[in-house]
Amino acid sequence: MATIQLRQVEKLFGEFQAVKPMDLTIQSGEFVVLLGPSGCGKTTTLRMISGLETVTHGDIYLDDRLVTWLHPSERDIAFVFQFFALYPHMSVRQNIVFPLQAVGASRETIERRLSEVVDLLRIAHLLPLKPGKLSGGDKQRVALARALVRRPAAFLMDEPLGALDAEFRESMRAEIKQLHIEQEATTVYVTHDQVEAMAMGDRIVVMSDAEIQQVGTPAEVYYDPANLFVAQFIGSPGMNLAPGTVAGDLLSLPGGNNYRIAPEWQETLSNTQNGAADVLLGFRPEAAEIHVAGELSGEVYATELHGAYKMLHVSLQEEHDVVHIRSDRQADYPIGAGVRFDLKPDMVRFFNPHTEAALLAKRPPPVSRREVVFT
Amino acid sequence: MTSFAETGPRTAVTEGIRVDKVNPRARLLKNIRAVVVIILALVGLIPVFAMGITAFKSRADVVAVPPKLLFEPTLEGFVFLLTDRSQLRGTTLAEAQENAEGGEPIGIFDRIALQNGQRINGPSDFILRLRNSLIIAGGSTLLSVTLGLFAAYAFSRFEIPGKDDLLFFILSTRMLPAVVVAVPLFLMYRQLGLHDTHFGMILLYTVFNLSLTVWLLKGFIDEIPREYEEAALVDGYTRLQAFFKIVLPQAATGVAATTVFSFIFAWNEYAFALMLTSNNARTAPPAIATMLGRGGIEWSAIAAGTLAFLIPVIFITFALRKHLLRGVTFGAVRQ
Ligand SMILES: Nc1ncnc2c1ncn2[C@@H]1O[C@H](COP(=O)(O)OP(=O)(O)OP(=O)(O)O)[C@@H](O)[C@H]1O
Ligand SMILES: [Mg+2]
């Protein structure tokens, strides 16, 4: 298994910048997810790593091998396509052994590797069939088998679960992750589904506008987003953001709310904003605790039952500045009722509204190590 | 208004069909349409049928008025078509007839010739014409489909400078009646020594067919997702290997359809064959036509020739029929 390194890798299609210069190192055996909205350059990045797309500038290394200008077949990388790309005129068996035939493997090797992956993915009964006869999940397994059989240096997967129905995605997700753990295979996995990214990634590379926005573990991108884009893109709904003005150790928020700034933040906020400028206060829905004597107040705007909990839409002022608050499933909040809530101090973040970057506390707040709670 | 309950079908519907089509009136209309189509098809087949029976009629039956539907079939037409004969006279004829009656073993063709007072000297040159047709049509089809396939693949997959202009240019060879260039071609072929050669005719038909094959095959290859080749590339194959192992098998339908169209064009071509060949490379179509000129009109021989001429086309179409049907409807439904 190999380390993948991108150094200032950039892609232009004519004038259009599909990937801005990007640095990224993927460790051997790591499962890295490229996550981002449609059109942000995820597929293009993956295709450049595989050699299916030529880079405009920059270099790609596999371990110490410079592969920037190598033909895809010389890179020793397997690619799993969104629509599987199983060769329709070949049987499942022929599909799986096709990569081995390319390198002229001996018949014994082919048989041995074939039976290994077939056992691993439990697809022995599919071998004589043509891909057209398979269900989506089985196609996915065969595509994975075809990738695994070669024991490549790295796996690239472009939305491999995108074509499956929701129910099946979840079990395949676990299956792929399990395979990764068993094989210790360096994997770059593209998706625009953040739940998938959170569930599978050792690290997540959040992309937007052809650029990397943040690289971090799922907990890092969730609790400590590097900027407003990541804060809002990760989580459903995303992080709550409320505009505020710093005045001494108080932050005045819409609706006449005042939030007392925790000591570790005071210096940061007064320094960067010259004591009197705007900041954005950010917190996750589960960071708010409803409490009769809460520091902040608002009015219930809408409620949604999400099964295990209830999501309150609370407007801080009139019908504006709506924040989402997670509350007990059984509590009853009539529309228009007033609510008061506190924010858990370790889950509060601040952003500069002009640069959109997250502000750092003088003494970094302890990162919550609890499980990511997610819908 | 009658409701569907009244007009609906008596028996349960066990086929995939739209609801308004199971209504008995719609069914009746459908049957009427089917009958009309069958009648039209039969009318259309009358000339072929007439040709088929004419090929097996004797000289006398061919010209009978009204045409005979019931007659004694004979291979006379084929004998006239396929052999070169000389008329026997007086004593030689009597001698030959005597020998035949005396039990001397002679073939069925000789016997038929003898009935007409003729002796077979050898095969006629119609066999040569058919052979020329096969060589020229086969050769040009192979060439134009092969070249067309590579060109179509390149046009479909690669960034080629001036691609659209090139494609238009290729098509523009079809924009004027081919006969317009007949005289220049004739002079050119004379000069180049290509006149009346197999190579010259293969070259000509290949060029004519290329525009068709490039465009047709490009359509088929465009339909094959690139991902298949890309998968083959990362699986360790070169572009050329991916083409042969992945693209070609999936384009089989298109190749079959294109082959049939090319072959039929080259096989049927008349005007250029008449003008650019005289003997060595002369193909069947002008040869059949010139039979009209020699002596009396041998209708049965002409019919036999046309019948023989149809066989390869029918054979190829039949051999490729499975691909053809898919080929014609290709693109209408994504597989
Ligand atoms: N061959 C190409 N020529 C021109 N533009 C391209 C080409 N391939 C991709 N693009 C453009 O580059 C941008 C990034 O595309 P890319 O496919 O990498 O996005 P993505 O993040 O994978 O999006 P999605 O989630 O929709 O798959 C898009 O705006 C796309 O239109
Ligand atoms: Mg994509």
Cα–Cα separations (whole angstroms), residue B229 to A190, B52, B221, B275: 20, 49, 12, 46
- CB contact at 8 A, B301 and B291: yes
Residue B313, burial from CB neighbour count under 10 angstroms (0-12, 13-18, 19+) = middle
Strands A31-35 and A203-208: parallel
Q: Which residues of B30-68 are buried (b: 16+ CB within 10 A; e: fewer)?
A: eeeeeeeeeeeeeeeeeeeeebebbbbbbbebbeeeeee
Between A318 and A130, whose confidence is greater?
A130
CA distance A109 to chain B (A): 17
Would the CB atoms of B238 and A71 count as touching at under 8 Å?
yes
Contacts with A44 from chain B: Cβ below 8 Å: none
Nearest to B277 by CA among B196, B202, B183, B184: B196
Judge if A169 and A258 occupy the same domain: no
A98 touches chain B (CB under 8 A): yes
Q: If pLDDT is split at 50, 70 and 90, which confidence band does B176 have?
A: confident
- Mean pLDDT (chain A) is 89
Strand order in the sheet with A57-62: A16-26, A4-13, A57-62, A65-66
Question: Which of B235, B238, B330, B333 to probe by mutation at the A interface, max A CB count within 10 Å?
Answer: B235
Q: Is the pLDDT of residue A332 over 60?
A: yes
Q: For A99, which residue in chain B has the nearest alpha carbon?
A: B235
**Interatomic CA distance for residues B163 and A356, integer angstroms:** 45
* Residue A277 covered by a domain: yes
**Interatomic CA distance for residues A300 and A310, integer angstroms:** 12
Q: Is the pLDDT of residue A239 over 70?
A: yes
A126 touches chain B (CB under 8 A): no
The CATH number covering residue A184 comes to 3.40.50.300
Strands A4-13 and A16-26: antiparallel
Would the CB atoms of B235 and A98 count as touching at under 8 Å?
yes
| DSSP 8-class letter at A364 | P
Judge if A99 and A187 occupy the same domain: yes
For ligand 1, pick from A9, A10, A11, A13 the residue to mutate: most ligand atoms within 8 Å of CB. A13
Q: If pLDDT is split at 50, 70 and 90, which confidence band does B334 have?
A: very low
Place of tokens 């699986």: B235
Q: For A83, which residue in chain B has the nearest alpha carbon?
A: B227
- Cis preceding-peptide flag for B66 (omega within 30 of 0): yes
Average of pLDDT values for B304-333? 75
- CB contact at 8 A, A190 and A37: no
Lowest mean pLDDT among A95-99, A103-107, A186-190, B322-326: B322-326
ipTM here = 0.82
A238 in ligand 1 pocket by Cβ < 6 Å?
no
* Residue A53 covered by a domain: yes
Contacts with A87 from chain B: Cβ below 8 Å: 228, 231-232, 246
**Interatomic CA distance for residues A353 and A356, integer angstroms:** 5
Average of pLDDT values for B84-108? 78
Nearest to A306 by CA among A374, A251, A243: A374
What are the pLDDT digits (tens) for A178-220? Answer: 888 888 889 999 999 999 999 999 999 999 999 999 999 999 9
Q: Is the pLDDT of residue B88 over 90?
A: no
Considering only CA atoms, which residue is closest to atom 17 of ligand 1? A43
Q: If pLDDT is split at 50, 70 and 90, which confidence band does B93 have?
A: confident
Judge if A60 and A10 occupy the same domain: yes
The H or E element that residue A118 is part of is helix A107-121
Place of tokens 């060595």: B280
Residue A158 domain boundaries: 4-228
Average of pLDDT values for B221-250? 93
Helices H, strands E: what count in chain B?
A: 18, 2
Helices H, strands E: what count in chain A?
A: 9, 20
Listed residues: CB within 5 A of ion ligand 2: A 43
Cα–Cα separations (whole angstroms), residue A137 to A142, A171, A274, B147: 9, 10, 57, 40
Q: What integer pLDDT is reported at residue A367 of this predicted model? A: 56
Judge if A108 and A140 occupy the same domain: yes
Cα–Cα separations (whole angstroms), residue B332 to B220, B254, B260, B329: 12, 14, 20, 6
* Residue A363 covered by a domain: no
**Interatomic CA distance for residues B75 and B57, integer angstroms:** 8
* Residue A370 covered by a domain: no
Q: Is the pLDDT of residue A147 over 70?
A: yes
The CATH number covering residue A285 comes to 2.40.50.140
A285 touches chain B (CB under 8 A): no
Between A80 and B23, whose confidence is greater?
A80
Q: How many CA atoms lie within 13 A of A291 on its CB side?
A: 11
Lowest mean pLDDT among A214-223, B45-54, B287-296: B287-296
Considering only CA atoms, which residue is closest to atom 22 of ligand 1? A43
Average of pLDDT values for B13-34? 82
Judge if A47 and A155 occupy the same domain: yes
Phi, psi (rounded to 5 degrees) for A77? -130, 140
What are the pLDDT digits (tens) for A5-42? Answer: 999 999 999 999 999 999 999 999 999 999 999 999 99
- CB contact at 8 A, A361 and A268: yes
Would the CB atoms of A79 and B231 count as touching at under 8 Å?
yes
CA distance A73 to chain B (A): 4
Q: What integer pLDDT is reported at residue B108 of this predicted model? A: 81
Q: Is the pLDDT of residue B142 over 90?
A: yes
Closest ligand 1 atom to Cα of A13? 4
A51 in ligand 1 pocket by Cβ < 6 Å?
no
**Interatomic CA distance for residues B186 and B188, integer angstroms:** 5
Judge if A74 and A94 occupy the same domain: yes
A19 CA from centroid of ligand 1 (Å): 9
The H or E element that residue B256 is part of is helix B252-268
- CB contact at 8 A, A17 and A54: no
Lowest mean pLDDT among A231-235, A280-284, B75-79: B75-79
Q: For A85, which residue in chain B has the nearest alpha carbon?
A: B228
Considering only CA atoms, which residue is closest to atom 26 of ligand 1? A38
Judge if A208 and A339 occupy the same domain: no
Q: Is the pLDDT of residue B262 over 90?
A: yes
| Angle between the N-to-C axes of helices B163-172 and B126-157, in degrees from 0 to 180, rounded to the nearest 10 | 160
Q: What integer pLDDT is reported at residue A157 of this predicted model? A: 94
Lowest mean pLDDT among A235-239, A298-302, B21-25: B21-25
Structural domain total, chain A: 2
Question: In chain B, what's the furthest Cα-to-Cα distance?
Answer: 89
Q: If pLDDT is split at 50, 70 and 90, which confidence band does B145 have?
A: very high
Domain ranges of chain B: 4-44, 75-124, 127-328
Judge if A89 and A111 occupy the same domain: yes
Q: What's the pTM value of the predicted model, to 2 decimals?
A: 0.80
Lowest mean pLDDT among B42-46, B99-103, B197-201, B237-241: B99-103
SS3 A303: strand
* Residue A360 covered by a domain: no
Q: For B250, which residue in chain A has the nearest alpha carbon?
A: A89
Which bound ligand lies closest to the C-alpha atom of A56? 1
A192 in ligand 1 pocket by Cβ < 6 Å?
yes
The dotted CATH code for B127-328 is 1.10.3720.10
Q: What integer pLDDT is reported at residue B332 of this predicted model? A: 43
A13 in ligand 1 pocket by Cβ < 6 Å?
yes
Q: What integer pLDDT is reported at residue A266 of this predicted model? A: 83
A146 touches chain B (CB under 8 A): yes
Residues of chain B numbered 181-240 and touching chain A (CB < 8 Å):
225, 227-228, 230-238
**Interatomic CA distance for residues A128 and A134, integer angstroms:** 11
Contacts with B238 from chain A: Cβ below 8 Å: 71, 73
Q: Is the pLDDT of residue A276 over 60?
A: no
The H or E element that residue A11 is part of is strand A4-13
Considering only CA atoms, which residue is closest to atom 16 of ligand 1? A41
Cα pseudo-dihedral A293, A295, A296, A297, rounded to 10: 20
Lowest mean pLDDT among A170-184, B85-99, B135-149, B249-263: B85-99
For ligand 1, pick from A19, A43, A81 the residue to mutate: most ligand atoms within 8 Å of CB. A43
**Cross-chain CB nearest to B235 (options A51, A99, A132):** A99
Nearest to A142 by CA among A83, A73, A190: A83
Considering only CA atoms, which residue is closest to atom 19 of ligand 1? A39
Considering only CA atoms, which residue is closest to atom 24 of ligand 1? A38
The number of C-beta contacts closer than 8 angstroms across A and B is 56
Q: If pLDDT is split at 50, 70 and 90, which confidence band does B4 have?
A: low
User: Which residues are within 8 A (CB) of B132 and not within 5 positions of it... i.e. 6 or more apart?
Assistant: B198, B277, B281, B282, B283, B284
User: Which residues are within 8 A (CB) of B161 and not within 5 positions of it... i.e. 6 or more apart?
Assistant: none
CA B202 to chain centre: 16
**Cross-chain CB nearest to A72 (options B227, B233, B250):** B233
Q: If pLDDT is split at 50, 70 and 90, which confidence band does B191 have?
A: very high
